[in-house]
Amino acid sequence: MIPIRGLDHIVLRVKDLPAMLHFYCDVLGCTLERQRDDLGLTQLRAGAALIDLVPVDGKLGRAGGAAPGLEGRNLDHFCLWIDPFDEAEIRRLLETAGIAAGPTETRFGARGDGPSIYLQDPEGNTLELKGPAAVLSEQSNAGD
């Protein structure tokens, strides 16, 4: 068996790199890990994982076919593990940035059932922000 420990990286094909950099870095707090202009590849640090952004007009992007769009998405969604999961602060940051988010619901993930919020990035990719299972019991105890 291969011992998977978590999300290593995800590659998103993008049309508007500056908008995606703003969203992932300025709104969500990722940092620039490395840039390969010769390939058309920007890699962002997202905790222990990477989010690779590949502009569709770059060397790698041209090799991947049509650009992502409403009828041609390149993935269903991906999930970022958030710890600590402070719902009020997450929602405040998203609202300040003009990002709409769905309701917080309990969903199952790699670390068990926990709170999660679905939202979309500027190019329509769906992502999930998910907290650890421990947050649920802490929130339940706080209301007792």
pLDDT of residue 142: 45
What mean pLDDT value characterizes the chain?
Answer: 85
- Mean pLDDT to the nearest integer, 56-73: 80
Q: Is the pLDDT of residue 80 over 50?
A: yes
Task: Say how many CA atoms lie within 13 Å of 35 toward its Cβ.
Answer: 6
Rounded distance, CA 53 to CA 80, Å?
16
- Mean pLDDT to the nearest integer, 5-27: 91
Q: Is the pLDDT of residue 49 over 70?
A: yes
With vertex at residue 47, the alpha carbon angle to CA 69 and CA 51, rounded to the nearest 5 degrees, is 25
Rounded distance, CA 26 to CA 93, Å?
10
